[in-house]
Each structure stands twice: as structure tokens, then as C-alpha cells.
Amino acid sequence: MNAPATTIQERYAGAVMNTFGPPALALVRGAGAHVWDADGREYVDLLGGIAVNSLGHAHPALVEAVTTQLSTLGHVSNFFATEPQVALAEQLLGLLGWSDGRVFLSNSGAEANEAALKLTRRTGRTRLVAAEGSFHGRTMGALALTSKAAYREPFVPLPGEVTFVPYDDVAALEAAVDDTVAAVVLEPVQGEAGVVVPSPDYLAAAQRIARGSGALLWLDEVQTGIGRTGAWFAHHHLEGVEPDVVTLAKGLGGGMPVGATVARGPAGALLQPGNHGTTFGGNPVAAAAALAVLRTIEADDLLGAAVARGEQLAAVLRGQVGVVEVTGAGLMRGAELDGPYAAEVVAAGRSAGFILNATGPSRLRFVPPLVISAADLDALDAALPAILDAARAAVAHTNPETTR
């Protein structure tokens, strides 16, 4: 029998570092795109562990892969090779179409970006150009590439020489990149900024600018990759965009911790023995989980499902009073509200049985499992008007000035 939610949350406060603030819920079980809290209440999960649970919760293919691998070979370190590790690297290269690529497997998106950052140093250059609004992780190197002042300022000085330019501004990028730049680092769609989509020609221009100065083009697909936007990688929506480095995590493991740094051509040979390492990265259990995710996405056409359900979700959002903009592709959608009440929408959503996410005062992000059903989104459509009304009423009650 599960402990009551209040008990778990009280224990959390007494034992876990306060890096995330008080948890909103204590969750104990999941199935598909639904989760249950310790009090037995059911929710439709529209956050998916922050774009991680690509197959939802307790997917049979993922459970079987992890169970089988753990009962066979759980961990051996990178002094040795294992079949899942090699097969995963091969599969990722095949999906990217890179016959001359190499893969470094790690445990998270931040670690994937740390490896890529070290890789860029092996070019002999030290400058990087990143975008305002970017998020690349919380470790010191990844944080150096993350623009949000609230994340960065408590930890300065940060490593590296990073120049931030406005996202989707080709002229600013062109002015910042010269022959001292090791890499241009961009998200194909900015996730933590609220699902910000650049102009269709932006990444192609970034590639041209980087190549013109001998810099690498590094695309952070930690959130956008592995089917999230309806393609294996978000840059695959754009003809002719061929990055030198791609970083992956989140949906790759379907809930198991795995990240990947993939580099092609000369960039794939920049890290040599002794330059980088990991104890757990490429662990056969995590690799087996990732392989199960990739195989299930392909077998069940979850790329097609992401497109279809994503279009349904976008239509649901566009039909709501108070939603003034909907962005994104596939099952990665942002919704801009007509006022700063996104946090209240998240709270009202929980009360109505939906797990929602706010990325800013007036911005919502939707990154549900790729297996979410049409019925789940119909339920959201039916519930959202009352959720939005409740959120606006909560704001009016606490701050009457906002309604005048």
C-alpha cells in the first residue's frame, strides 16, 4: 500500500536538497499517458517527465528490455564493450544517416553537452556562440552555454568564452562568428524558452556562417530529438541542414538515464583516449532501454502519431479563449496566454486531473508521451475552458488590479 502523498512530501522536505522547491505531487504509478498520485488520483500527463517519457509509463517493450538486460548483464564499465552499447551507437548513426560518425554515450543531456563542449576545445579554438533564450543544462560547462541569468549568475565565473546572440537573428549570428569560434550551438526549437521556433531558413544560415569561419555547427536536440517533433530529429524537417555535432537525451531512454553526443567526419575523431570518460555512460541496461524506444517508435509509427496528435493538440490550444499563439511541431507545443497566469493554469490543471507545465509567466509547454491518445486530448479540450477560467479567477482574487 502506498504512503499518503502528504507523508511522502513531508519526508522529501526532510531528506532531499531543496533544489526544486516543494514537489506539487507525490506520484506512485503510471500507465501510458496517465499517472496516479499517492492518494490514488489519476492525471493525464502532458509533461511526460519534461519530454522524456516518449513511450509513456510502464510500456511493455521498455519494461521487457530493461528486465531482460538487467538479468543478463547490468554494468561492466567502459573498459569493456557490450552489444547494446554498440547497437545503440550504430542505430543513432543510421537514423542520422552518418556513415562517418561516432557516438559518445552518457547519462543525461547536460552530460551530452559537456562532452560536446570538450570536443569543441579539441579544435584548438575556445570561443562559442550560443543563443539568447537557450537552455543546455546545469553542469558548469553546459550552464556556460545557457543564457538565463537566474541560472548563471550564482555560479560565475563560468568556463569558456561564450557570446550570446538573439535567437533567429541571422545578422547577429553573422556578426558574432569569426575564425576564433569553435562552434555555433543552437537548439532547433528552444524548449525551456517555451517552444520557440525559428524561421525556416535560420539553421541553414547558421550552417553557412559556421562553415564559412571553420566553426562546427552543434545542434542540441536533447529535447527536440527522438520523434518529439514528428521526425527523428527536428533538423530533419529542414532540407540541407547537416550539423557536425548533435546532442541527445530525454526521449532517447524513455525514462532511463541516457545521453548521446554524436559527431561526424573530422569532429567525430576529436576526442581520443584520455580526453573524456564516464563510468555509467553506455551502460547496457540504459542502452537496451534506448534501443527499445527506437524500435518501438519505428514499429508503432510513433513519428506519424506525433504528427497526428500534435496537430490535434495544436487545434485544441488554438480553440481556447485566452490563447493568443500556438507554436511548435509534433508533440512539442507552446501556448502563449493573454496574461501572466500560466502558473495558475498549471495549478488549476492539477485540480482537474491534468499535469501541465509553465515555462514563463504567460507561456505553457506541452510535451506529452508520443503514445498519448486522441481521447486524452479530447478530454483536455473539454476541460481547458474551465481550467483557464479558474486560473484567471485565481489571479483576479489574489491581484484585483490585473482585472481593472
Positions annotated as catalytic residues are 135, 220, 250
Cβ–Cβ under 8 Å, residues 292 and 62: yes
Distance CA 378, CA 312 (A): 9
- Here the cell at position 114 is 559537456
Cβ–Cβ under 8 Å, residues 128 and 181: yes
Phi and psi for 312 in degrees, rounded to 5? Answer: -65, -45
Read off the DSSP letter of residue 366.
E
- 365 in helix, strand or coil? strand
Distance CA 114, CA 101 (A): 18
List 184's β-bridge partners, or say none: 129, 217
Q: What angle do CA 329, 103, 269 make, to 5 degrees?
A: 125
Distance CA 347, CA 364 (A): 12
Report the residue count for the chain. Answer: 404
For the chain, what is the largest distance between any 2 Cα atoms, rounded to a whole number of angstroms? 67
Cβ–Cβ under 8 Å, residues 7 and 33: no
Q: Which long-range contacts (CB under 8 A, 24 or more apart) does 33-39 make?
A: 33/57, 33/368, 33/369, 33/371, 33/372, 33/373, 33/376, 34/376, 35/355, 37/5, 38/2, 38/3, 38/4, 38/5, 38/7, 38/8, 39/4, 39/5
Nearest to 321 by CA among 388, 245, 242, 259: 388
Instruction: Please confirm whether the linkage preceding 369 is cis (ω < 30° from 0).
Output: no
